[in-house]
Every structure is written in structure tokens, then in C-alpha cells.
Structure 1
Amino acid sequence: MTRRPFSSRDAGPSAPGPESPAPPRADEAAAGAVSPAPASSRETADPTTWARPWVQLKYLSFSPQLYPAMIRAASPDAAPGSLVTVYDKEGRRFGAGLYHPRARVPLRVFHHGEAPFREADFLALPDRAVALRLEMLRLPEVTEAFRVVHSDGDGLSGLIVDRYADVLSVEVHSLGIWQRLPQWLPHLHARLGTRHAVVEVSEFAARVEGIPARAPERPAVARVKIREHGVRYEVDFARGHKTGFFCDQRDNRLRLARWINPAHRVLDLCCYTGGFALAAAVLGRATDVTGVDLDETAIAQARRNANLNQARVTWVHCDAFSYARQMQRNGRRWDVVVADPPKFVAAREEFRDGQRRYEDLNGLALSLLEPGGLLVTCSCSGLVSAEDFEQFVCRAAHRQGRRLQILDRTGAGPDHPVMSNCPEGRYLKVLWARVL
């Protein structure tokens, strides 16, 4: 992925739940369609009378992401990234969105209804997202790192914005979104009091959306220090995953700290830069904490984070599967094991292999727990449902001859909202279980 500083001088296209879900098959698209809305006398079936540019749908769906199988036609002037009026198959005005004929997601809908939606109306969408974080959730009172815009969950499909102190870290998955950043970013800075922005466009998005490539540039701000519930972290924009830090686990890190005591031995598998491990050591005051990750850069950052907090944590640069198997052979046991692996299922064809990996990792984690120990296990694969994930974990427990006492099921924090018309945005699953 390429990270780059962003300037309001970049007026055109030039450069990361939540990610777009896999496109539906044609039969799924038809099954998810809804009945047409009542007829409107203001529109007709004659495209020459429609507001241009326009897109017409085959099926009427309220999903914010519409795939090629759901689109009937587009006007010739519907250029990549353009704001289009959306019509149903009967020629009734349905809403408005951003269109890109060659994209994996050709139509991202931002507005439903017959009322016109103009470029100026876009600013109301980030305003609404900021108001949720500042006025209702009051997140700055507990953290300097939170999600400001959560793509479909905030009605801004293709845009993710995280705040880290005075820096906005941005993921762009849409050419139309990229073209509008010069207008949106100054507005966000003014609302949030931030000063810098680092914009990331994945190689896939750049290629598929047609965002012109530029030579990689060093971010204007390479690193920033943040505080979350009293724990200090350093976020590395150049080397970190996604936007640099996993804000979605903030509430789960705090809960872990509240559920343990200083005598607990804690193992954090796939620890990344030490989020759960440091919450256990700093907030939970656990004195025996181990963090394991295969990413050498992440482990180096975890060590720096521990130093920021004067925390004693054992960091291990190793594959989590290999480490757990070795500890199993050595007879090591822990009171608390956290497993927060990367996405094991990124596409439908990876589901079975991902299931095997989830069951393998959780079986190993369970084998390392003392009777009565706490398992905190996570999945960030949007294509794995909460029910599927729980079945994987329970199957792993049965193979180990262990019983699970399910204590809770949680997910991402409220700064990662889920829209009712996009339930697939509920990507993060966290299962809390006592092992018997």
C-alpha cells in the first residue's frame, strides 16, 4: 500500500470493516432486491427527460454498494467518479451516488429518495459522522485515536478516516471519493482541530479504480503518539497496517484490563503493536505478559510502546501457530489468552481454508489455558458471520476436550457503526469465554 501526504492543491484523482464485501452473484442480487417504490409523477420511463448524468438499476436495492449485475444502463456522460442520479427500472428517481463503470463496485449510493442530491450536499455526510464522535460518544474524553468516518457505516462508502492526535489517517477505496478529498479534508480539519492528513490508497484500489499512480512520498508526519484510556502508543503511518492502529478494539482492550488481576499470566497471540498486551500490563497491572507476532516491524513498535509506558512485557518475534505449538510441547500454561489474528477469509473461495486456520489457532490457544482461564478470540473477516465464528471456536474446544462457558460476544466500538442497509459492515467478532 502507498501512503502519501495530501494537499488541497491536489484537485483531481491522484493516489483501507471497512472493506468492500465480495460482490454478490446474480442470483443473490435478485434475491436481495426489494419491491419498487410507488410511482412518481415527476419522472417518466423516457431517459431523455432524466437528470444527467444518470444510472438505471435492474433491481431496487437499498445496499450502499451496487455491483455490475444490478445495473441496467448509464448515460454516456456518466464519467468515472461522477455524481449520478439513480433511477429504478421503471424510471422513477431512486437516489444519488458516485459512479465508475470499470470499478469492482461501480455504484456507491449516498442518498435515497426523490429529492435532488448535489455536490454541496456531500459535506453534510462527514458533518454527521463528526457529530456522532464528538457530541454523542464524546470520544476525545477517553482517547486521542478514533474512527471519524466508517465508510458504509457513516453513509460514505469507500472512505475511512481515523484521527490520531492532530493527524487524520485516510483510506480511499473509490475514485469519486479521492476526487472530492480536497474539499472534504479542510472541512474535517476545521471540525476536529487536526492539522495533517496521510492518505492511503491500496494498490488494488488504485489499479481497479484508475487512480493515477505517483512516486511514493514520505508522509509529512511519519509517527504520532496517542493516548487511549491512559495507555500511550506510537502510531507509525509509514509501516503500520491499515490506518496505523486498530481503533476498533479500543473498548475490548479496556474490558480485558478490567477482567484480569495482577496475578494473571497473559498471552497475546498476533499482538501487532501490543494493544491487548499493554492494556493488560498497564491498566490490568498484570506482571507476566507475553506478546507474539510474526511481523518484526510490529514487534519493534510494540517494544517502543512498552517503553513509553514503562511496562514490562515479553515480546516474541515468531509465527503464532509455531509459538503456540512449541509452548504446548513445553507444557506452558496461561490464565488469559488473546487471539487477534489478521483476516483469514478475504474472499469466498478462502472460506474453508480460513475455517481450518481459525479452528487450528483457537485449538492451540485453548490447549495453553489453565482450567477456568479466559479466552478472548477475534475474527476481523467480514465474510465470516458471528454464528460461523462461534461454531469454529466451539469445534476447536470439543477437539481439545474442553468446554466453553460463553461470557460475552462483542465487536468494534461505536465509532465503527453499522447501517441497517449494510449488515455486512459488522466485520469484527470478539468471543469471550471461560474455559472449563
Structure 2
Amino acid sequence: MSRPERWIRLRGKPRGPRAFRRDLAETAPGLGAGDLTALLAADGDEILGWGLYHPSSQVAWRELRRGPEPPDEEWVRAAARAAAERRRRSPEIDERLCRVVHAEGDDLPALVVDRYGDLLAVELFSTAALPLARLALPELHEALGTRHHRLALDAAAARAEGEAAWVETSPGCPELVQVEEDGIRFEIDLRRGHKTGFFLDQRENRARLRRQVAAVEEAEVLDVCCYSGGFALAAAAAGAAAVTAVDLDEEALAMARRNANLNRSRSIRFVQADAFGYLRTLAANGRSFDFVVLDPPKFVPSRRERERGLARYHDLNKLALPLVRPGGLLLTCSCSGLLSALEFQERVRQAARRAGRTARLERLTGAGPDHPVRLDFPEGAYLKALWLRIT
């Protein structure tokens, strides 16, 4: 078999749909960002698969297609159509408010597409994925009947690749959109919001919390790292007597307040504060709650920051556990893909022991079916949510 013009070779066997720079044994000369590149076997010229290369990213190669046949433009278009069709067929997915493309989970690496009604919010986690987005977007618009899109390069990914973050939009694309989830209205600020503007991955967990709160009379709820108010609004809609929603980000709290006003929610009190310091203050004041929700940002964004991130998960949970009333519920979340569910659970177990509380795991959940995960890429199951009954 002749060697293709663009290729890379690993030091050993591939361990999933990604190859890190440290795993490369050699590469063809002159490879550029976004080049369609063959992955060669370590001991010969057998082509194991094809993917997108980036010369600056720590993730040097992202698989598109396994085997010797290279994916052409029609292959990419077909992958986009298939992703849209999977959402349309599923009885568990609201196709007007869902993740339409989930990167490796839909065979389109480094590309995420969320649908908000008539708008597609697109995020790239590598400039190498830009050609995929260009090919996929027309197919998605046609399949879904959407009209607008906003395409952005993730700021952290841009820094990692030595690029400048950028945004481009379709003509007439709105900057603010309103959506409805389980009867709750949200305004999504595409300019200032995190990621694509709204955390669709927590949709099923918000619905579950709402059912839990509805079963408790005069429930008091604490939502820590509330962002745009998703969990807080779900609790308020369930009839909670009092909800305290905390976030350090002033713009996030402004969005949360707007969403509360949209829904005429009067039971939510918003607090701008650092989560760690505010939890200490609540404990010092003898406060307690029937439900405590912890949904912090990604504490382990890279392997280099792993130990520090693990310590922060431990400390945050250690501070929150004493605030849960006996028999109450702690919903604690991690969105760090580099942290497994078992590792996260172990950190929370240690925190419960240090806090002198007993925590019983009632359920372990994650994102919904619009966030599919390849079994050879467990990092795709980045969201872990532990539902813990505390005594």
C-alpha cells in the first residue's frame, strides 16, 4: 500500500479517536491546520483511519473516519444529516431546543452545534474543524428548517492553538433569543453567554430537580454557580418557598434576573458572591436547606491543573454538605471531561467524611440523549451529576 501525501504515525496503538502530540512518532512534512491526514500503523504503512491535523494543538489529530478510505465532502455532509435525523427521530429530544452535533459523539470532532428555535449556535474547539462547520451548516439548516447561525471559535481553544477567538454570523442573526423549556422561558444572550449561551446538557437534571422539589412542602433551595438561573427557576416553578441563587459572574446574574422576570418568579433571591466564601458565611449563620445544587465551572480543564481542580471539588462539596438538612438532597455536578465519574464520586465521598455527613447515592446522571458518547471516547461523558441523600 502506497503512503498518502499527508500522514502521521503514532508511537503505539491508537487509544481512541484522538492523538495527542506526545503520542506522535513522526509526521509528514508541511502539515497544516485542518489538513485531512492519514493515521499510519506504528509498524508499517497500513492506514488505520483519517482525521484532522493541527500543528499547534496538544490534540494533534482528531479522527473522522476509520479504515483506509478517506472521507470526502459528501461523507461530512452525510454525517451532519445523520446527526440531525437522530435528534428528529428520538421521542426523548425536543428538536427545537437541543444539541444537534456533539463532536466525536456524532463523528464530527471539535464541532458542537446547539439549536435554539430557528438559530444554530456553533462552537469550534479547534480551527481544524472549520471546514467541517462550513460543510455541515447548510445540511443542518435544510434538515431542521433553521434560518440563522452563529459560528464561534472557543476562546480557550484559540489560546491553546495560538489563534485569536472570532465570531461570524448569518445575515440578520439575532443576538438575543428566547426559548422555552418545560414551560419555563429563558433569554439566551449569544454575545455574553458561556459556551453556546445555554447549558442544554443539564436539561434532564433540571426537570428531575423540579420533580424532587415539588414533592417537598415549603422547600428551601440553594443553587450555587447558578449561571443563567436554570436550576433556580426549575425549583421556583416547582413551588419552592425560597430559592437562593449564587454566582460570582455579574453578567450571568443579570441573565438570571432577566429570566426570573420573564417567568414572574418572585421566590428567588440572587446573590453575587464567591461560592466558597458564601458557603462559609451561610454555615457561620446557621443556615440550612432542603436542596443544595452545586454546578461549578470546569475545575479540571487540563491535565496540568488536575490536582488543583480535584482539591476545589473536594472543598466546595465539603463546604456545601453541612448546609443540607437531614434527609435533604445534594445535587453536585462536574463538567470536567478529564475526571471520571468514579473519581468525582470519590472526592465527594472524602468531602462527606470530612464534613461528618453520610451521603447515599440515589442516582448518577449526565447529559441527555442529544449528547451521545462514543464508548472509545469516555471524555465525551463530561457531565456527571450525583444525587445524594444526606443524613
**Matched residue SS, 1:430:** strand
Q: Is the 8 A contact 1:271 1:291 kept in 2?
A: yes
Unaligned runs of 5+ in 1: 1-42, 44-48
Query: Which amino acid in structure 1 is aligned with residue 262 of structure 2?
Result: L
**Matched residue SS, 2:59:** coil
Q: Which residue is 2:53 aligned to?
A: 99
Identical-residue share of aligned pairs (%): 46
Displacement of 1:62 in angstroms is 4.9
Displacement of 1:264 in angstroms is 0.9
Q: Based on CA coordinates, which of the two structures has the bigger radius of gyration? A: 1
1:176 is aligned to 2:131: no
**Matched residue SS, 2:363:** strand
Of the three residues 233, 238, 254, the one matched with 1:300 is: 254
What does 1:395-410 correspond to in 2, within 5 Å? Answer: 395-410=350-365
1:239 is aligned to 2:161: no
Say how many residue pairs are matched.
Answer: 386
Instruction: For 1:363 and 1:91, locate their aligned partners in 2 and report how far apart those are by CA, in whole Å.
Output: 53
Q: Is the 8 A contact 2:153 2:167 kept in 1?
A: no
Indicate how the Cα distance of structure 1 residues 209 and 315 shifts in structure 2: closer, same or farther if over 3 A, else same: same
Q: Kindly report the root-mean-square deviation, in angstroms, between the aligned alpha carbons of the 2 structures.
A: 2.2
Q: Which residue is 2:109 aligned to?
A: 157
Of the three residues 63, 73, 93, the one matched with 1:139 is: 93
Of the three residues 68, 83, 91, the one matched with 1:129 is: 83
Q: Is the 8 A contact 2:48 2:67 kept in 1?
A: yes
**Matched residue SS, 1:140:** coil
1:252 is aligned to 2:184: no
Q: Deviations over 1:306-354 (max 9, x none)?
A: 1111112111111122222111111111111111111112222323322
* Normalised TM-score (structure 1): 0.83
Instruction: For 1:79 and 1:366, locate their aligned partners in 2 and report how far apart those are by CA, in whole Å.
Output: 50
Instruction: For 1:326 and 1:75, locate their aligned partners in 2 and report how far apart those are by CA, in whole Å.
Output: 58
Q: Which residue is 1:109 aligned to?
A: 63
Q: Is the 8 A contact 1:225 1:235 kept in 2?
A: yes
1:432 is aligned to 2:381: no
Instruction: For 2:114 and 2:279, locate their aligned partners in 1 and report how far apart those are by CA, in whole Å.
Output: 33
**Matched residue SS, 2:329:** strand
Instruction: For 1:351 and 1:339, locate their aligned partners in 2 and report how far apart those are by CA, in whole Å.
Output: 19
Q: Is the 8 A contact 1:83 1:119 kept in 2?
A: no
Of the three residues 64, 73, 81, the one matched with 2:34 is: 81
Q: Deviations over 1:11-30 (max 9, x none)?
A: xxxxxxxxxxxxxxxxxxxx
Q: Is the 8 A contact 1:405 1:435 kept in 2?
A: yes
Q: Is the 8 A contact 1:54 1:87 kept in 2?
A: yes
Query: Which amino acid in structure 1 is aligned with residue 195 of structure 2?
Result: K
Displacement of 1:81 in angstroms is 1.3
Q: Deviations over 1:202-245 (max 9, x none)?
A: 34433554657669999932110011111111110111111111
Displacement of 1:137 in angstroms is 4.4
Unaligned runs of 5+ in 2: none
* Normalised TM-score (structure 2): 0.92
1:63 is aligned to 2:63: no
Displacement of 1:60 in angstroms is 2.8
Higher relative contact order (CA 8 A, sep 6+): 1
